[in-house]
């Protein structure tokens, strides 16, 4: 599955839809695995069987302390990683994680001993054989000298590993600090530490700075080894900043990011300092993956609430770019555990355990000794069970494996002491001279012993208070083909969403519930145990680690294809130099500009006074000089075409020599003249009062919303409200309007990104532009043909017909509005006035003067002068248009899905363009 295949054109037989492509990829993977030579499979399996040093206790939170006993199997593991001399057509996969799958110990100046680390990611990726994989990460040791770095790099290369060299200070601040003391507790709902309790040499900011530096160091190494077509897979919370670093280096790089811990709810995550920067960095990836849908939903919610972005069923949309966010539950290499049960040493362990615990039911817990694992809660629940079920006291035993972690941290030392105290109390209370109810081990087990223990267990207890996935439950199920034991699983473990149907789900905080579940599991009928086991066993053996990795990379490749298709629909950036050059060669120019988000300063959607500034729109201070120069150019006519009311435009532009078109072109005036109406024949404002009542009702009940009552429309804006609540309220508002005030009215509902506007039917900027142009031509007495048009704005989709109005290449008779054509023989017909009895010139003139509802809402007593011209004079505007395609520039500001020819990212880019035009206009006048 070469990377280049995904960028080539598809043959006719290739599925074109995203779902069809993914289904086909899935079938191809299955057929490739089934066709794998039997002997090759056996050899690969044998390697894994002998890797007892790779035993995992199922935790996906990658930490260097999470290690099991090592055995001398490095030579065979080297064969597993090493395929350098073999020709391969597999897609290259760069797995970038905080830790390499090996740990290095220095034995001399130029010699190293490599031991295999263990953890959820390592055990999962060992089963991945479909990719030409290389690991990039930290080897867990400080190597300050150049000789040591060269020799370690050479030794790791034999295992397909590439080291990152971090000094002690970076490790202290980045890993021990920001990763373990800030991100990890927060993501597991333990909250943030108080900054005054941090080490005197550390602070949140200094740790975050070290975090960014470390991520950049990872990125620098990726750059050196990256080849076009590679997939770069960033792993876990240690590398949240890495996708941004990679994309800044090469925007075409295929980058995925996967989180192996829970992602907290947005209310928890928003307490994190630098929260915005981290989210933005992760969103640079093409695909963002989580273990469960809940975690993915929390991430999308954080992006919408904190960044103000739009959440979709597929992920997060960031100004036209879609970042896919999806759930990819990790698995294990189940065959490794199933085959291990047939090994002689495992069978010997099983026999020994059965003899030791003969006549007693065996319960098992395997955990890291960590606050999130719920070990005290588990043991207390077992104590409660023994209290309430005295008949079971001599019939059941709980074996608790607690692997020590971070033994130098006081909190972990306190946890260990607390657990020991509880175990001692229960054993002293319920134990006898020959047996105790709890066997507690403060150490790890080798792979064979662990598989044997899984196999003889009747009930497995996984009571995590918060866990990314927890693969212990998977490993237990894989070893239970004979026993068919019961799995009691915390609902706060990610595995609960995958194994919940076959497991007994519990709330680990509810000691009584867990105790009752223990009793239920021990007394469960055989047929029910069989059904529950079969469900879980099927899931564990089909949703393997190999399938997990292959699915993620397949989705990532397909996401790249989808992104390429989307980018083709995004207008290219407006070429400033070309626009200026064409401007200089033209003799009669027309510049049409929007106002809000076009000539105003960018505002913060999420606070910092953005809502206040938006309620009182002001002209961008950096554009004033450029605008004045352009307005003073006799060969340039400027029109500000806006949805704002007349008072706002008067306040901002009265000092300039230009034309103002307010309320989507309904009102027009030169700044030296009076206001006039352009389409008064379609105005009927009798509906406003009833609609205003509905808008007032929803504004009172939706914090941080407002409505704007204009002379020809009314707008309700929920841009600054809570994202989800605002969307729900907008839906309810529309239902009220459609079933009431506007049900039988000739009105249009225009929905913006976060606004609802009600206006008269047929009102749009494109519908008004022909009359505006005719009036300008008439009043200015323009005779020379208009041979250059620049039209730029942040217009709603409803109003983007103004872009297509001037398109010279559009065929005659296209959508709803007249087109300005260079050929006089193809001049479009003008919008016609009514032909009824009241349609005479006098009747129409009278109608324009009798807009009582409109006049009631006039501001500042500005008199209205209706526009009336006969058919010949209305065509004056078209007669002076001599527009060629190369001299027309339409630009959408910040809207990537637009009918405009070009894109300008922000109003700052508009200011930059106008400055260049103004400078050229000034040079021509000298």
Asked whether 92 and 98 are in contact (CB, 8 A), the reply is no
Locate 152 and state its tokens: 């370690």
Q: Among the three residues 327, 358, 379, which one is the final residue of a domain in this structure?
A: 327
CB atoms < 10 A from the CB of 126, how many?
Answer: 24
The verdict on 772 and 741 lying in the same domain is: no
Locate 481 and state its tokens: 């083909």
**Gap between the Cα atoms of 703 and 719, Å rounded:** 11
Whether 527 maps to a domain, the answer reads: yes
**Gap between the Cα atoms of 442 and 572, Å rounded:** 62
**Gap between the Cα atoms of 203 and 455, Å rounded:** 48
Asked whether 631 and 656 are in contact (CB, 8 A), the reply is yes
Q: What local confidence, expressed as pLDDT, does residue 778 receive?
A: 84
Output the 3-class SS for 352-378. HHHHHCCCCEEEEEEEECCHHHCHHHH
Q: Helix, strand, or coil here: 726?
A: helix
**Gap between the Cα atoms of 6 and 182, Å rounded:** 39
Q: What is the dihedral of CA 496, 291, 322, 615, to 10 degrees?
A: 60
The verdict on 187 and 208 lying in the same domain is: yes
Asked whether 606 and 307 are in contact (CB, 8 A), the reply is yes
Q: What local confidence, expressed as pLDDT, does residue 922 receive?
A: 67
Kind and range of the H or E run holding 757: strand 755-760
Identify the segments of the chain with pLDDT beneath 70: 1-19, 21-22, 25-26, 28-88, 118-120, 123-128, 195-202, 603-615, 680-683, 808-880, 922-926
The verdict on 588 and 470 lying in the same domain is: no
DSSP 172: I
What's the CATH number where 165 sits? 3.40.50.2000
**Gap between the Cα atoms of 359 and 291, Å rounded:** 39
* Residue listed under structure tokens 């200089």: 584
Q: Which residues form the domain of 529?
A: 342-543
Whether 58 maps to a domain, the answer reads: yes
Q: What local confidence, expressed as pLDDT, does residue 201 receive?
A: 55
Whether 437 maps to a domain, the answer reads: yes
**Gap between the Cα atoms of 138 and 163, Å rounded:** 5
Kind and range of the H or E run holding 519: helix 511-522
For the chain, the domain total comes to: 4
For residue 519, list its beta bridge partners: none
Q: Among the three residues 302, 327, 352, which one is the final residue of a domain in this structure?
A: 327
Locate 362 and state its tokens: 């065996």
Q: Among the three residues 760, 779, 808, which one is the final residue of a domain in this structure?
A: 760
Contacts (Cβ under 8 Å, ≥6 apart) of 41: none
Whether 335 maps to a domain, the answer reads: no
Whether 535 maps to a domain, the answer reads: yes
Each residue of 292-323: b (16+ CB within 10 Å) or e? bebbbbbbbbbbbbbbbbbbeeebbbbebbbb
Q: Which of 21, 27, 28 is nearest to 6 (CA)?
A: 21
The verdict on 733 and 775 lying in the same domain is: no
What is the spatial order of strands in the sheet that 713-717 belongs to? Answer: 706-709, 713-717, 755-760, 747-751
Locate 502 and state its tokens: 């076959």
Contacts (Cβ under 8 Å, ≥6 apart) of 567: none
The verdict on 362 and 293 lying in the same domain is: no
CB atoms < 10 A from the CB of 813, how many?
Answer: 10
The verdict on 427 and 320 lying in the same domain is: no
What is the spatial order of strands in the sheet that 888-893 belongs to? Answer: 865-866, 676-677, 667-670, 659-662, 636-641, 589-593, 788-793, 888-893, 902-904
Q: Any idea what the Cα angle at residue 828 is, between residues 825 and 834, rounded to 5°?
A: 135
Asked whether 774 and 869 are in contact (CB, 8 A), the reply is yes
Q: What local confidence, expressed as pLDDT, does residue 849 receive?
A: 31
Contacts (Cβ under 8 Å, ≥6 apart) of 368: 57, 59, 65, 66, 402, 403, 405
Q: 317 phi and psi, to 5 degrees?
A: -105, 125
Asked whether 540 and 474 are in contact (CB, 8 A), the reply is yes
Among positive and negative, which fits the CA dihedral 758, 760, 763, 768? negative
- In this prediction the pTM is 0.79
Q: 637 phi and psi, to 5 degrees?
A: -115, 125
Helices (H), 781-870: 801-805, 841-849, 852-856
CB atoms < 10 A from the CB of 86, how many?
Answer: 7
Q: What local confidence, expressed as pLDDT, does residue 281 receive?
A: 97
The verdict on 319 and 171 lying in the same domain is: yes
Locate 453 and state its tokens: 């223990």
The verdict on 756 and 767 lying in the same domain is: no
Whether 563 maps to a domain, the answer reads: no
Asked whether 58 and 401 are in contact (CB, 8 A), the reply is no
**Gap between the Cα atoms of 55 and 448, Å rounded:** 9
Whether 844 maps to a domain, the answer reads: no
Q: Which of 122, 131, 128, 4 is nearest to 63 (CA)?
A: 122
The verdict on 100 and 220 lying in the same domain is: yes
Whether 855 maps to a domain, the answer reads: no
CB atoms < 10 A from the CB of 777, how many?
Answer: 22
Half-sphere exposure of 261 (CA within 13 A, CB side): 25
What's the CATH number where 723 sits? 3.30.70.1020
Asked whether 802 and 769 are in contact (CB, 8 A), the reply is yes
DSSP 439: E
Q: What local confidence, expressed as pLDDT, does residue 465 receive?
A: 95
The verdict on 109 and 50 lying in the same domain is: yes
The verdict on 486 and 587 lying in the same domain is: no
Helices (H), 240-374: 242-249, 266-269, 275-282, 293-306, 334-340, 344-356
The verdict on 390 and 441 lying in the same domain is: yes
């Amino acid at each position: 599955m070469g990377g280049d295949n995904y960028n080539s054109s598809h043959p006719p037989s290739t599925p074109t839809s995203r779902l069809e492509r993914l289904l086909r990829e899935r079938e191809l993977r299955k057929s490739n695995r089934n066709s794998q030579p039997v002997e090759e499979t056996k050899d690969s399996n044998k390697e894994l069987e002998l890797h007892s040093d790779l035993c995992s206790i199922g935790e996906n939170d990658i930490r260097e302390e999470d290690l099991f006993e090592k055995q001398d199997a490095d030579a065979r593991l080297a064969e597993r990683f090493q395929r350098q001399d073999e020709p391969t057509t597999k897609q290259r996969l760069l797995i970038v994680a905080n830790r390499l799958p090996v740990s290095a110990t220095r034995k001399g100046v130029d010699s190293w001993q490599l031991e295999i680390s263990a953890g959820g990611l390592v055990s999962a990726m060992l089963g991945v054989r479909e990719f030409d994989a290389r690991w990039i990460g930290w080897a867990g040791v400080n190597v300050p000298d150049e000789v040591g770095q060269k020799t370690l790099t050479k030794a790791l290369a034999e295992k397909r590993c590439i080291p990152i060299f971090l000094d002690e200070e970076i490790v202290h601040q980045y890993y021990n600090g920001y990763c373990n003391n800030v991100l990890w507790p927060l993501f597991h709902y333990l909250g943030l530490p108080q900054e005054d309790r941090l080490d005197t040499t550390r602070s949140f900011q200094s740790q975050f700075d070290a975090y960014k530096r470390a991520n950049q160091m990872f990125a620098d190494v990726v750059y050196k080894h990256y080849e076009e077509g590679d997939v770069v897979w960033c792993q876990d919370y240690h590398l949240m900043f890495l996708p941004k670093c990679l994309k800044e280096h090469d925007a075409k790089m295929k980058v995925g990011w996967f989180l192996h811990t829970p992602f907290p709810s947005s209310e928890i995550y928003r307490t994190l300092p630098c929260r915005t920067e981290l989210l933005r960095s992760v969103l640079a990836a093409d695909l963002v993956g989580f273990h469960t849908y809940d975690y993915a939903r929390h991430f999308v919610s954080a992006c919408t609430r904190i960044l103000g972005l739009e959440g979709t069923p597929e992920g997060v949309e960031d100004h036209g770019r879609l970042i896919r966010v999806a759930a990819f539950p990790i698995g294990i290499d189940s065959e490794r555990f199933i085959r291990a049960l047939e090994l002689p040493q495992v069978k010997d362990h099983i026999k020994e355990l059965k003899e030791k615990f003969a006549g007693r039911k065996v319960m098992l817990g395997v955990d890291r000794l960590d606050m999130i694992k719920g070990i005290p809660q588990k043991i207390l629940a077992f104590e409660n069970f023994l209290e309430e079920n005295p008949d079971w006291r001599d019939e059941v035993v709980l074996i608790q494996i607690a692997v020590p972690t971070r033994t130098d941290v006081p909190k972990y030392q306190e946890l260990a002491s607390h657990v020991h105290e509880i175990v001692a109390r229960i054993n002293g209370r319920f134990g006898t001279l020959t047996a105790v109810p709890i066997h507690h081990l403060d150490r790890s087990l080798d792979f064979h012993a662990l598989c044997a223990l899984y196999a003889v267990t009747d009930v497995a207890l996984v009571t995590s208070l918060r866990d990314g996935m927890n693969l212990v439950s998977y490993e237990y199920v894989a070893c239970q083909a004979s026993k068919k034991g019961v799995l009691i699983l915390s609902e706060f473990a990610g595995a609960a969403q995958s194994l919940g149907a076959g497991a007994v789900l519990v709330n680990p905080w509810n000691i009584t519930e867990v105790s009752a579940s223990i009793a239920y599991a021990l007394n469960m009928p055989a047929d029910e145990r069989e059904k529950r086991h079969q469900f879980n066993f099927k899931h564990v053996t089909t949703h393997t680690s190999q399938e997990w990795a292959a699915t993620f990379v397949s989705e990532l490749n397909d996401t790249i294809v989808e992104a390429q298709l989307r980018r083709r629909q995004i207008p290219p950036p407006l070429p400033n130099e070309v626009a200026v050059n064409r401007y200089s060669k033209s003799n009669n120019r027309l510049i049409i500009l929007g106002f809000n988000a076009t000539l105003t300063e960018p505002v913060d959607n999420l606070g910092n006074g953005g809502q206040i500034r938006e309620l009182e729109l002001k002209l961008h201070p950096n554009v004033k000089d450029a605008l004045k120069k352009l307005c003073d150019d006799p060969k340039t006519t400027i029109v500000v075409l806006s949805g704002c009311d007349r008072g706002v435009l008067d306040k901002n532009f009265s000092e300039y020599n230009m034309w103002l078109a307010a309320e989507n072109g309904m009102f027009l005036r030169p700044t030296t003249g009076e206001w006039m109406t352009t389409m008064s024949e379609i105005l009927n404002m009798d509906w406003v009062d009833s609609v205003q009542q509905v808008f007032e009702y929803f504004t009172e009940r939706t914090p941080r919303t407002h409505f704007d009552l204009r002379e020809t429309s009314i707008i309700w804006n929920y841009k600054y409200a809570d994202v989800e609540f605002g969307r729900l309220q907008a839906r309810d508002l529309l239902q009220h309007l459609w079933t009431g005030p506007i049900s039988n009215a000739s009105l249009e509902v225009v929905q913006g990104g976060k606004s609802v506007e009600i206006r008269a039917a047929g009102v749009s900027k494109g519908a008004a532009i022909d009359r505006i142009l005719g009036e300008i031509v008439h009043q200015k007495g323009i005779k020379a043909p208009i041979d250059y048009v620049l039209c730029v704005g942040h217009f709603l989709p409803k109003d983007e017909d103004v872009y297509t109005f001037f398109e010279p290449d559009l065929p005659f008779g296209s959508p709803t509005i007249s087109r300005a054509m260079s050929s006089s023989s193809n001049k479009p017909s003008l919008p016609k006035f009514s032909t009824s009895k009241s349609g005479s010139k006098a009747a129409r003139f009278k109608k324009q003067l009798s807009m009582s509802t409109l006049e009631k809402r006039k501001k500042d007593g500005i008199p209205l002068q209706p526009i009336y011209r006969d058919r010949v004079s209305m065509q004056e505007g078209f007669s002076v248009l001599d527009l060629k395609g190369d001299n027309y520039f339409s630009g959408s500001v910040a809207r990537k899905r637009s009918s405009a020819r070009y894109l300008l990212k922000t109003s700052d880019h508009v200011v930059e363009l106008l400055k260049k035009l103004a400078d050229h206009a000034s040079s021509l006048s000298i």
